[in-house]
Structure 1
Amino acid sequence: MAEIDARLAAIAERFAAQAGETAAEIATALDREDWSELARLSHSLAGRAGMFGYGAIGDAARSVEEAVDAGLADDVKVRLTQDLLTQMAALNRA
């Protein structure tokens, strides 16, 4: 069991280390107002974040994805995405 825990911890650390790259991709999609790409990135992030113990980031990513899928106003999608990016930035400072 300790070996599995160690592997999961290593994967979670890798997730945290890659958060900056993922955040940059999300920010680029937001800047381009590429809602389809933003939804795709958010969907992927939501699954990975939840798996590795970053539930709040997963929830924020899911909110972005759902906002895009529901066709909510651009200002709502922007606000939700900015909230997500803020949480991801905090991950790198931890």
Structure 2
Amino acid sequence: MSEFEARMEALRSRFRDRAVSESERLTAALIAGDRSELRRACHSLTGNAGMFGFPELSRQAALTESAIEDGECAERIEELTRAVVTALDAMQTR
């Protein structure tokens, strides 16, 4: 394994370790109705998840971010956010 690959794997591992706190952050923002925080968290997850090899999480976060930006209804935002949380939770079982 090259030095670059080792560093990327370490970063990927740290990203996976943060999944629980990211899940909690999204859930708290959803409960509080804080769309701004939800958007920020999803924006960050979209890029990071894609970079570290979690395409489904990246896709779900991007969908949620877009829905928030488009002003979709609370029920749709909750549904999409729950899908992101589910993808984060699934990372813990990998």
Give TM class, smaller chain. Answer: over 0.9
Report the counterpart of residue 89 of structure 1 in structure 2: 89
Give the deviation of 1:66 after TM superposition: 0.4
Unaligned 5+ runs, structure 1: none
Distance 2:92 2:25 in 1: 16
Q: Aligned residue for 2:41?
A: 41
* Amino acid in structure 2 at the alignment position of 1:31: I
> Deviations along 1:10-68, whole A, 9 cap, x unmatched?
10011000111111101100011101110011001111111111111011011110000
- The amino acid that maps onto 1:36 is S
Q: Give the aligned partner of residue 30 of structure 2.
A: 30
TM-score, with structure 2 as normaliser: 0.96
The alpha carbon displacement at 1:71 in A equals 0.2
2:68 maps to 1:61: no
- One-letter code aligned to 1:58: S
Identical-residue share of aligned pairs (%): 34
Question: When the two structures are aligned, how many residues end up with a matched partner?
Answer: 94
TM-score (norm 1): 0.96
Could you tell me which runs of 5 or more consecutive residues in structure 2 were left unpaired when the two chains were aligned.
none
1:93 counterpart SS class: coil
Q: Distance in 1 between matches of 2:44 and 2:84?
A: 13
Aligned to 2:21: 21
